[in-house]
Amino acid sequence: MDLRDFEADNSVSCRLSSPVPDVCRTEDCCLGIDEAGRGPVLGPMVYGICFCPVSRKENLKNLKVADSKTLSEAERENLFLKLDKAKGFVGWALQILSPNTISTSMLQRVKYNLNALSHDAAIGLVQYALDCGVQLKEVFVDTVGPAEKYEEKLSQRFPGVKVTVRPKADSLFPIVSAASICAKVARDHAVKDWKFTEDLGRVDTDYGSGYPNDPKTKSWLLKYLDPVFGYPQFVRFSWSTAQTLLDSKAVPVHWDDDEEDGEKAAARQNNTSVLSYFSRSKPAGNTHTRETHRFFTERRLQSIDTL
């Protein structure tokens, strides 16, 4: 799988796709959706779709695709090659959500949570297939959340398409298994060969599974913690694992939209001037202060006679 388009800028979201088989533009098709890498604190989350004509479901089944989680990495690679060989009737597309996209979305002023992010990625991929002219009739989706609501949302969004949302759909429907293999292979490659944008020299790539409870991941997170910047963009800052470590080991950072005790915020506000580095006790007895023109107050400009 060629991830160069993503690696060219792994701070943003990226779409990768196979060519669309001609037969998918003329025959009724089914499409499966699955994700890989939702839980880990490291690396991207990948959304995948796979589609083929409804009449070719049996051919797909014969490729022996299965839920990607039950397969070894080598088996997944192998199955992905088989899917690639079946490009005469199978197409796929991926949406790679970079860890930086996940962090900045979830930590946005107006929070954009992981569920919304996931749903939008899935919807974007189905729309992509439709835009390519794929004759979609059935969509099968794997979900960890409440299936009914999601099914309703997708059905409304794509009238004329029969949407089935099921937990464990990746082991029930071969087309979803196929999507899960594409997504997982991309996620594995992206994590294994992560191109660090930061100038960190040789980075220890022994970061384990990326799941917060993996001891290797934990010790990697400790090793690469910077007291000021926190982490490279490979880490999802919005994960509680990362936040907890930063809270205890990095210097505190305050933003104007932080929810904090009002008094504390006010105390800091009085202290934000660059000149506070040089501040000394203010001279007493300076009672007749002139009111400053708002030109200056609006710009926080003040006249100084000492540093």
CB 145 to another protein: min, Å? 23
| Residue 262 found at the interface with another protein (CB under 8 A) | no
CB of 239 to another protein, least distance (A): 9
- Rounded to a whole number of angstroms, the minimum distance from the CB of residue 244 to another protein is 14
Task: For residue 136, give the nearest of 15, 26, 56 by alpha carbon.
Answer: 26
Tell me whether residue 18 or residue 104 sits nearer to another protein (CB atom).
104
Torsion of CA 63, 67, 71, 74, to 10 degrees: 60
Nearest to 142 by CA among 180, 190, 108: 180
Instruction: For 17-33, give the DSSP string.
Output: EPPPPTHHHHS-EEEEE
177, 273, 280, 288, 305 from 283: Cα distances, Å: 73, 18, 9, 13, 12
Q: Is 116 in the site for another protein (CB under 8 A)?
A: no
The answer to whether 254 contacts another protein (rule: CB under 8 A) is yes
CA atoms within 13 A on the CB side of 58: 1
Tell me how far apart the alpha carbons of residues 124 and 130 are, in angstroms, rounded to a whole number. Answer: 10
Of 118, 217, 238, 241, which one interacts with another protein (CB under 8 A)? 238
Whether 121 and 95 have beta carbons less than 8 Å apart is answered as yes
Residue span 72-91 as binding mask against another protein, x where in contact by CB under 8 A, dash where not:
--------------------
Least distance (Å) between residue 42 CB and another protein: 13
Q: Is 2 annotated as a binding residue?
A: no
CA distances from 108 to 100, 101, 237, 255 (A): 12, 10, 12, 12
Q: Considering beta carbons, is residue 248 or 286 the nearer one to another protein?
A: 286
Counting contacts by CB under 8 A, is residue 251 touching another protein?
yes
Region 170-229 residues binding another protein, contact defined as CB under 8 A: 197-200, 226-229
Q: Is 152 annotated as belonging to a binding site?
A: no
Q: How many residues does the chain have?
A: 307
CB of 9 or CB of 22, closer to another protein: 9
Q: Which residues bind another protein (CB under 8 A)?
A: 9, 11, 100, 103-104, 107-109, 197-200, 226-230, 232-233, 236-238, 242, 246, 251-257, 268, 272, 277-278, 280-281, 283, 285-286, 295, 298-301, 305-307
